[in-house]
Chain A
Amino acid sequence: MSRFYIVLPRVAAAPPPVALPEFLTDIRPPAADPYVALAKAADLAGLSGVVVPNDPDGPEPLVTAAGLVRVTRHATVFAEVRPGIATPQYTAKFSATLQRFSGGRFGWYVGDDADSTAFVETAREFWDNADGLPDVLSEHAFPQVAVAKAAHSARLEVQGLAPAAVAELIDEHAGFGVTEFYFGVGHDPGEIYRIGEYVLPQLSQQKERETAHVG
């Protein structure tokens, strides 16, 4: 089964709010945190998760992810974790809290380099070890770990693409054995809702047709 995630856009890419015609009464409040609307869209559109990448020009991913865990109900929220930001033990403890708050929907997005791998291993050991995290904090599984550029994963830039074009891209990559799809999205939650509305159902219909052929 394939899984679909969105990767939050960089802060630098944020467009100004849509301008309304002069004659319309415009009482829109100042833009709220743009990531909340995107994460909620992914959650409500039935996607598997939201990745908060480390954007050197933007907010810190762990803090952003903590806020997003609170406003979603199904999606797993992945924060990019880099070695050196904190001890692996402390990062594990921070993560245990988000696992508890979210019912196990917090994850780490990490690089595929040796330092990142070692960081994850130390943290995981601390999580599982009897002398590490206390049971009450580690009752949940260690955060789901998504490794950048892992086998069977692909990042697809879908911003501005029509649903049919997105579906085509997915099919093409699925043909190479990709099952984990990371969608690079823009700042418009509407595009994410359209993935849920048009793209995902189309994929499952295709699956049904294929199954029918075999039968």
Chain B
Amino acid sequence: MSVDIYWRIAMEGDQKSLYEPGSTRGGFAPEQSGGIAPGTNRAGGDGFTHADYMAEVVRSSEESGFVGGLLPSFPHTDDPWAAAATLAAESRSYRFMVAFQPGFLHPVQAARMSATLQKATGGRLVYNIISGGGGPQQLWWGDSTGHDDRYARTSEFLDVLKGVWTGDGDFQHEGRFYQVADGGLPTALSGQPFPEIFFSGSSPAAIEAAGRHADYYLSWLEPFEALAEKFAAVRERSPKPPKFAVRIDILARETEEEAWDVIRRGWAGLPAEDGPGGADAAGKDTAGSDPAGSDSVGWRRSQDFTAGADGSFRALEVAPNVWGGFHRLRPGPAFGLVGDYQQVANRLNELIALGVDAFILAGVPHLEEARRVGRHVLPLLKGISQ
């Protein structure tokens, strides 16, 4: 069994460290003294844009042993399709995992864009299909479809996309959301591998839809028992069970003390929390997490696990090395692994034993942490001995 380890590309700009909040990299903030690799939005100054920063992360993680990078999607950050297409020529073997919501693109257009990218990269496109955090965000994109309907539409979207991919100009579809007559790809684009699908979503409707289409069922990290239950539910509902993937933040250092010290310093700089979930409500950037008004089940689940924690950061360590406070220190989901290199590797090995086939790892700052994790953690991973 082979395990695919992806890295994450910071679409939202990057912090200098977990204990110095504020995006100072890659064209999301004005140049400030002490900032590392600041970019300029207008490509003035030294001309270093967010694309240049992302290209550095791509090359660093490619060299460090990652098979590819997730380009996540948020309303206030750069677009993953545009970024993947811009960066395609910057790497040789690296896969670009493009996060997108089917509602905003027509499936025929998605097929053409995908095939064009497959052609440009020699088949290195991977999908992360999200059906949306919903709520106000969804309307903002020009999409008013309701929660459960979105999964039905995602399903139909992928049916059409696959139909067009293999259709020879004779794919017909009369559906609830889409109509296509004589669909197919032109000769110049046809015959390429269909991108692997990483499917996200924690609700029953999502799991139902994942069963039909997912190569990988992708979850944020949760306490391991909860994750195992989730996988079991997906297995049970799927005619053909998918593989499993987990998206995890990693904070690994030479010693455990060093690792927790990073958290301690970050925690010390936080404003007092004004109630459960208050960090996000208090105006902190919510990339990757879902703001108030969202109908995301995944986000509610992560909040349930950390509710009742007494406010000290160590209380959020719900199991050894499994820490649920990352969302307070950087935009994104709550859980990640904190510890020395061996401890973090052990937890990852446990997840592999639990049935995880792929990881999307991340660390702040994404550039340096890719090299650190690649050098010190990946070599300690063990597969399952048969």
* Interface set of A (CB-CB < 8 Å, partner B): 11, 33, 56-60, 62-64, 66-67, 69-71, 84-90, 93-98, 100-104, 126, 131-132, 134, 136-137, 139-140
B86 within 8 A of A: yes
Q: Which 8 A-B residue pairings sit nearest by Cβ, starting from the closest?
A: A103-B43, A66-B85, A90-B104, A87-B142, A97-B82, A85-B109, A89-B142, A59-B116
Stretch at the interface among B151-159, B184-192, B249-257: B184-192
Q: Is residue B350 within 8 Å, beta carbon to beta carbon, of the partner chain? A: no
Question: Please, what's the 1-or-0 string for B21-43, where 1 marks a CB less than 8 Å from any CB in chain A?
Answer: 00000011000000000000111
Beta-carbon contact of B85 and A63 below 8 Å = yes
Judge if B79 is at the interface, Cβ distance under 8 Å.
Answer: yes
- Tell me the chain B residues, 94-151 only, with Cβ under 8 Å from chain A: 103-106, 109, 112-113, 115-117, 119-120, 140-143
Q: A86-B104, A96-B79 are in contact. Are A63 and B120 (CB under 8 A)?
A: yes
The contact of B104 among A11, A62, A87, by CB within 8 Å, is: A87
Pick 5 A–B contacts, CB within 8 A, sort by A.
A59-B116, A62-B81, A70-B86, A86-B105, A101-B78
Partner of B86, one of A67, A131, A136: A67
Q: Among B78, B87, B141, which residue has its beta carbon within 8 angstroms of that of A89?
A: B141
In the complex, A100 Cα to B54 Cα: how many Å? 13
Cross-chain contact B78 with A97 (CB below 8 angstroms): yes
| Chain B residue nearest in CB terms to A14 | B188
Contact of B75 with A by CB under 8 A? yes
A66 contacts B142, CB within 8 Å? Answer: no
A33 proximity list for chain B (CB < 8 A):
120
A97 touches B43 (CB 8 A): no
Q: Does B381 contact A (CB under 8 A)?
A: no
Interface of A is mostly: helix
The answer to whether A98 touches B82, judged by C-beta atoms less than 8 angstroms apart, is yes
Given A63-B85, A103-B44, 11 extra CB contacts under 8 A: A57-B186, A58-B186, A59-B120, A60-B109, A70-B86, A87-B104, A87-B141, A90-B142, A94-B81, A101-B82, A104-B42
B312 to chain A, nearest CB (A): 34
CB–CB A137/B106 < 8 A: no
Contacts of A64 in B (CB 8 A): 85, 116
Contact present for A89 and B140 (CB under 8 Å)? yes
| In the bound complex, CA of A136 to CA of B22 (Å) | 14
- Determine if B51 is an interface residue (Cβ-Cβ < 8 Å): yes
Tell me if B141 and A90 are in contact (CB < 8 A): yes
| Cβ–Cβ contact B186 & A60, under 8 A | no
| Chain B neighbourhood of A97, CB < 8 A | 78-79, 82-83, 86
Q: How far is the CB of A70 from chain B (nearest CB, A)?
A: 5
Q: Which residues of B contact A98 (CB under 8 A)?
A: 82, 86
Judge whether B321 is part of the interface by a CB distance below 8 angstroms. no
B77: which A residues are within 8 A, CB to CB?
137
Is B176 part of the contact surface with A, judged by Cβ < 8 Å?
Answer: no
Q: Assess A100 versus B78: contact at CB under 8 Å? Given A59-B188, A62-B113, A63-B116.
A: yes
Q: Is the CB of A93 within 8 A of B120?
A: no
Contact (Cβ within 8 A) A136 B105 = no
Query: Cβ of A100 and Cβ of B86 under 8 Å apart?
Result: no
For residue B28, which residues in chain A have a CB less than 8 angstroms away from its CB?
Answer: 136
* Interchain nearest-CB distance for A135 vs B (Å): 9
Q: Which of A64, A94, A95, A98 has the most CB of B within 10 A?
A: A94
Query: Is B49 among interface residues, defined by CB-CB distance under 8 A?
Result: yes
Complex: A136 Cα to B41 Cα, angstroms = 8
CB-based contact B42/A103 at 8 Å: yes
Contact, CB under 8 Å: A63 / B188: no
Say yes or no: A67 contacts B89, CB within 8 Å.
yes
| CB-CB under 8 A for A139 and B41, given A56-B186, A84-B106, A97-B78 | yes
Asked if B88 CB lies within 8 Å of chain A CBs, one says yes
CB of B188 within 8 A of CB of A57, answer: yes
Does B328 lie at the interface of the complex (its beta carbon under 8 Å from any beta carbon of A)? no
List residues 31-85 of chain B with CB under 8 A from any CB of chain A.
41-44, 47, 49-51, 75-79, 81-83, 85
Residues of B within 8 A of A96 (CB): 78-79
